Amino acid sequence: MDKFVVRGGNPLLGTIKVSGAKNSALPCMAAAILTEGEVILENIPQVRDIETERKLLVSMGAEVELGYGRAQHRTSIKCAVLSDPVAKYEIVKTMRASSLVLGPLIARTGIARVAMPGGCAIGGRPIDLHIKGLEAMGATVTYDHGYLEARTPNNGSAPLKGAHIVFDKITVTGTEDLLMAATLAEGETLFENCAREPEVTDLAALLIAMGAKIEGAGTSTIRVQGVSSLHGARHKINPDRIEAGTFLVAGAITGGDLNVDCCDPSHLGALIAKLEQCGVKLTVGSDNVRVRSGGGILKASDISTEEYPGFPTDMQAQYMALATQTEGTTLVTENIFENRFMHVNELNRMGANITVNGRTATVRGKSDLQSAAVMCSDLRASASLVLAALVADGETILDRVYHLDRGYEHFEDKLRGVGAQIRRMGDVFGKNRRATDIAS
């Protein structure tokens, strides 16, 4: 089980490049299910969740090429025949992909059989709003030994019907999943209280390129006119705003001078505003942001996670690491997920001073962090621990970094490229150590 070894103390200097957004690529890959034509996606990140989705699509009968050649990072997906339209548990259990293939599968084949996605470290992650929306579109949903089976009207032989759907809660993949289903429904579907995340807009751009008729993506009201079929298309995935945000915090927490390149600053408004309130110096370009600590002491500034364009829940853990290095008390309120403070105990083991009361963590800074052996628990908590280790005194060992590999491409290589002392270790017996680990 891979570990990271991180020696703190180096300011990050230079340019670090952002990859494509995992949370855009996943729904866009699922959208290929909607057509027999070839869907080509560029700027795909080389992360574990993408590989999992490739396996899932292939298991259903899709032809998937996935290349990460120097210029490529692209995938070609052809779902000409879906010989086995089932999202199998052994594949989806590692990543809740079923919540993104349910809608496209039922829209394309009339019948979808998907393993119920389990919860994860950060919460129960229900999909009741996905199911409620499909039922509003005429689907019947039954449950069978951990699998959900959804059929369109007439036992799967007729298309879904357009409906008026108001989401009880704002859900990103719920909006994406049902948006995909509505593209092939009969008639018009009006969605209200939709997620406005850039990943929804990115998916809609692909669907429109495939021939879908969609208005309002990126706002809370989306209108879809169903069509009888969609065709293939080529689409470039957005830069990953959470990876970019993670690197901005890395530059700030290490007191460096870091240019975060190939990103879309317009997707980072809430984080940029918050970092500036802390006293971080940011220079915003058209596709990059330069971050400098500004030399002075950073000031505490509270955050409360909200749906986009509010402060993103996916940046909460990373910001908390920075908050340990600011003067004063920071209140961190997590409004989206019920259990997204798994990083708190590990940060406290490194010398942070954080207490949790319900949905609010109180961070008292500035703490001198010390190296320790810590455990990664989920994707963004893992990133938080790396950020803390970059400023801790000594050498921190992070275990279970496979969580990071799900959503950050070559994380340690990118950080080492701008001066971080970080390397990956295989298991303790070094069975699968890479030459670079030993050399560095």
**Residues designated as active site:** 120
CA distance 88 to 412: 32
CA distance 254 to 179: 41
Site for ligand EPZ in 185-214 (CB under 6 A): 195, 199
Does the footprint of ligand EPZ cover residue 26 (CB under 6 A)? yes
Does the footprint of ligand EPZ cover residue 103 (CB under 6 A)? no
The counts of H helices and E strands in the chain are: 16, 24
CA distance 89 to 148: 11
300 with 277: CB under 8 angstroms? no
CA distance 74 to 45: 8
CA distance 387 to 399: 15
Which residue number, 193 or 421, has a Cβ lying nearer to ligand EPZ? 193
Which residue number, 11 or 202, has a Cβ lying nearer to ligand EPZ? 202
Site for ligand EPZ in 148-177 (CB under 6 A): 169, 171-174
Which residue number, 119 or 146, has a Cβ lying nearer to ligand EPZ? 119
Q: How far is CA 170 from CA 78, 191, 221, in A?
A: 31, 11, 12
Site for ligand EPZ in 283-302 (CB under 6 A): none
Which residue number, 307 or 412, has a Cβ lying nearer to ligand EPZ? 307
Nearest distance in Å: CB 171, ligand EPZ:
3
Chosen residue from 35, 43, 293, 313 binding ligand EPZ by CB under 6 A: 313
Chosen residue from 337, 341, 408, 411 binding ligand EPZ by CB under 6 A: 337
Which residue number, 12 or 26, has a Cβ lying nearer to ligand EPZ? 26
Q: 74 has which bridge partners?
A: 42, 67
Query: Residue 366 is encoded by which pair of tokens?
Result: 């500035």
Helix (H) or strand (E) holding 148: strand 147-151
Which residue number, 194 or 252, has a Cβ lying nearer to ligand EPZ? 194
Does the footprint of ligand EPZ cover residue 349 (CB under 6 A)? no
Does the footprint of ligand EPZ cover residue 34 (CB under 6 A)? no
CA distance 112 to 127: 15
Binding residues for ligand EPZ, total number by CB under 6 A: 23
Does the footprint of ligand EPZ cover residue 23 (CB under 6 A)? yes
Nearest distance in Å: CB 181, ligand EPZ:
14
How remote is the C-alpha of 103 from its chain's centroid?
19
Each residue 224-263 as x (binds ligand EPZ by CB under 6 A) or -, in order, gives: ----------------------------------------
Site for ligand EPZ in 108-147 (CB under 6 A): 123, 125-130
Site for ligand EPZ in 375-434 (CB under 6 A): 379-380, 407
Q: How far is CA 246 from CA 58, 263, 386, in A?
A: 32, 12, 10
Does the footprint of ligand EPZ cover residue 305 (CB under 6 A)? no
437 with 423: CB under 8 angstroms? yes
- For 23, list phi and psi in degrees, rounded to 5: -80, 0
Which residue number, 169 or 434, has a Cβ lying nearer to ligand EPZ? 169
232 with 35: CB under 8 angstroms? yes
358 with 388: CB under 8 angstroms? no
Nearest distance in Å: CB 127, ligand EPZ:
4
Nearest distance in Å: CB 340, ligand EPZ:
8
DSSP structure string for 357-387: ETTEEEEEE----B--EEE--SHHHHHHHHH
Nearest distance in Å: CB 428, ligand EPZ:
28
CA distance 354 to 101: 39
Which residue number, 173 or 330, has a Cβ lying nearer to ligand EPZ? 173
Query: CA-CA-CA-CA torsion for 244, 380, 277, 322, nearest 10 degrees?
Result: -110
- Judged by the rule CB under 6 A, the positions of this chain that interact with ligand EPZ are 23, 26, 123, 125-130, 169, 171-174, 195, 199, 313-314, 336-337, 379-380, 407
